[in-house]
């Protein structure tokens, strides 16, 4: 059986627990989860009890995150970590390239060399903040063609939002198995170990690494009690454990660098768990898209799936925003995204199809970066078409795009600026916007 077939078989008919932020619990072996206490004198079945904290012990209850794991071996039983090659994975602060105010757009990354797994295929585009301060974010692309064999990854620097664009992934995590396909996203909390196995021969996608406060569902304000991403559509795994004895490399991203230690067993050996510091998958097609039913184009904050707050209310370290299929009915309205300059910085990617502000050039697997205050919006062809279109109700259902929007400018890596994929003539899409003014 090939590795893809093995991964597909393992990814079949997975059970889940539904609900974002819930106190979930799961046991792969009946009786493995202690009842009524977290840390009994002897944990059931000879397991070790261990807490993993995603928030300070003392954070308000509404933000407090931790899980209790009942595992074959405690995580503490490991040898020394030593530095290993970061490859094309980089971290903030990005000081090597000069901050560039230009609008930037990239073609999709080329297929990676044979033998590239998710971790070795991570390629950093840029970011902001500082993982040692637990602020900001980084944007990475991934390409892979082999499973992470005998190795697992954990990121002490932040949580990872994985947005597949081509091919699905099986994620084997400490909490159990998740399957994520293009059109769905996976959220892996800070510090949780996982292994990635491609469900197709060649996979690729995007990763938002959130150094800051964890993603949460946005408040709904006047929208009411329901809408946008509904909490119950976020699916956590059920417990599943590996008993493999033998060398497993654990790669830990810590303060910007990769560190490696070889354990004599798999650390994905959690037999039962409970808590709220958990991985999830979410199907973007479940997003309840709300919009204007009168006039004008609402700001895209209305499409926020998840928001990672910063210390300033309303200013997100990063928002994850989706442009999902929807109806446009606005009367006397320029319906595609408007021309604008935004104090927030916008990285956009395309999962499939086309995006309604760009007639061409913004392609699946590619990305665009419209940094703090850079002028952008519909390209020339889109402007001409939309300003004369007949305003009948229109279904926009030929694409799925997303945005990582952050309060700080995204500084790009040198490799992103020197990349063959960088489109040199992007400014031209706004050339030829004719003067129509008549006094």
Ligand X SMILES: O=C(O)Cc1cc(O)ccc1O
Contact positions toward ligand X, by CB under 6 A?
A: 297, 299-300, 337, 340, 342, 346, 357, 370, 376, 403
For 10, phi then psi, to 5°, come to -65, -25
Q: Is 356 in the site for Fe ion (CB under 5 A)?
A: no
Tokens of 254: 């810590």
70 labeled part of a ligand binding site = no
355 labeled part of a ligand binding site = yes
CB of 334 to Fe ion, least distance (A): 14
Nearer to ligand X, 218 or 337 (CB): 337
Binding partner selected for residue 300 from ligand X, Fe ion, none, CB under the kind-specific 5 to 8 Å limit: ligand X
CA pair distance 32, 226, nearest whole angstrom: 36
Tokens of 147: 């499973």
CA pair distance 324, 300, nearest whole angstrom: 11
200 labeled part of a ligand binding site = no
Strand partners, 21: none
Catalytic residue, chosen from 63, 285, 297, 370, is 297
CA pair distance 239, 232, nearest whole angstrom: 19
Say if residues 47 and 85 touch (Cβ distance below 8 Å).
no
Nearer to ligand X, 134 or 297 (CB): 297
CB of 426 to ligand X, least distance (A): 13
Binding partner selected for residue 341 from ligand X, Fe ion, none, CB under the kind-specific 5 to 8 Å limit: none
Binding partner selected for residue 357 from ligand X, Fe ion, none, CB under the kind-specific 5 to 8 Å limit: ligand X
CA pair distance 425, 431, nearest whole angstrom: 11
Residue of 117, 174, 209, 346 that binds Fe ion (CB under 5 A): 346
- Using CB atoms, what's the residue nearest to ligand X? 337
Rounded-to-5 percentages of helix, strand, coil across the chain: 10, 40, 50
**How long is the chain?**
439
Is 436 catalytic? The answer is no
CB of 338 to ligand X, least distance (A): 6
- Using CB atoms, what's the residue nearest to Fe ion? 346
Say if residues 160 and 208 touch (Cβ distance below 8 Å).
yes
Q: Considering CB under 5 A, how many residues would be counted as binding Fe ion?
A: 1
CB of 356 to ligand X, least distance (A): 8
CB-based contacts of 214, cutoff 8 Å, min separation 6: 54, 55, 65, 159, 189, 190, 308
Nearer to Fe ion, 319 or 346 (CB): 346
Nearer to ligand X, 403 or 411 (CB): 403
420 labeled part of a ligand binding site = no
* 52: nearest Cα among 73, 35, 66: 66
- Residue 35 CA, chain-centre distance (Å), reads 34
Footprint of Fe ion (CB under 5 A): 346
Binding residues for homogentisate: 346, 355, 376
The binding site for Fe cation comprises 340, 376
Annotated active-site positions, please? 297
Known binding residues are 340, 346, 355, 376
């Amino acid at each position: 059986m090939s590795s893809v077939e093995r991964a597909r078989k393992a990814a079949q008919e997975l059970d889940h627990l539904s609900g974002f932020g819930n106190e979930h619990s799961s046991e792969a072996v009946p009786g493995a989860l202690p009842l009524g206490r977290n840390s009994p004198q002897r944990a059931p079945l000879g397991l070790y009890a261990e807490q993993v904290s995603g928030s300070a012990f003392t954070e308000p209850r509404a933000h407090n995150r931790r899980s209790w794991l009942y595992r074959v071996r405690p995580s503490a039983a490991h040898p020394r970590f030593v530095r290993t090659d970061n490859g094309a994975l980089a971290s903030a602060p990005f000081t090597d390239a000069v901050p560039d105010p230009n609008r930037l757009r990239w073609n999709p990354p080329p297929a990676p060399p044979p033998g590239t797994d998710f971790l070795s295929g991570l390629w950093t585009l840029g970011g902001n903040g500082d993982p040692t301060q637990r602020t900001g974010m980084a944007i990475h692309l991934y390409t892979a063609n082999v499973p992470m064999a005998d190795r697992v990854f954990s990121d002490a620097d932040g949580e990872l939002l994985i947005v597949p664009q081509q091919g699905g992934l099986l994620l084997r995590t400490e909490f159990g198995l998740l399957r994520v396909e293009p059109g769905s996203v996976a959220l892996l909390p800070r510090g949780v170990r996982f292994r990635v196995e491609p469900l197709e021969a060649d996979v690729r996608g995007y990763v938002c690494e959130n150094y800051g406060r964890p993603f949460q569902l946005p408040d709904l304000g006047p929208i009411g009690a329901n809408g946008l991403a509904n909490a119950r559509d976020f699916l956590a795994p059920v417990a599943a454990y590996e008993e493999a004895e033998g060398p497993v490399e654990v790669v830990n991203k810590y303060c910007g660098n990769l560190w490696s230690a070889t354990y004599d067993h798999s650390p994905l050996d959690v037999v039962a768990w409970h808590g709220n510091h958990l991985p999830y998958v979410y199907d973007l097609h479940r997003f309840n898209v709300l919009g204007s039913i009168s006039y004008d184009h609402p700001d895209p904050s209305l499409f926020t799936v998840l928001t990672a707050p910063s210390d300033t209310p309303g200013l997100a370290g990063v928002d994850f925003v989706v442009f999902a299929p929807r109806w446009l009915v606005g009367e006397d309205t320029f319906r595609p995204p408007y021309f604008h300059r935004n104090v927030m910085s916008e990285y956009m990617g395309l999962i499939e199809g086309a995006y309604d502000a760009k007639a061409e050039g913004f392609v699946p697997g590619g990305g665009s970066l419209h940094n703090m205050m850079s002028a952008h919006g519909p390209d020339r062809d889109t402007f001409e078409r939309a300003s004369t279109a007949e305003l009948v109700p229109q279904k926009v259902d030929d694409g799925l795009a997303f945005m990582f929007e952050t309060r700080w400018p995204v500084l790009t890596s040198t490799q992103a600026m020197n990349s063959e994929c960088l489109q040199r003539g992007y400014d031209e899409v706004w050339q030829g916007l004719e003067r129509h003014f008549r006094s």
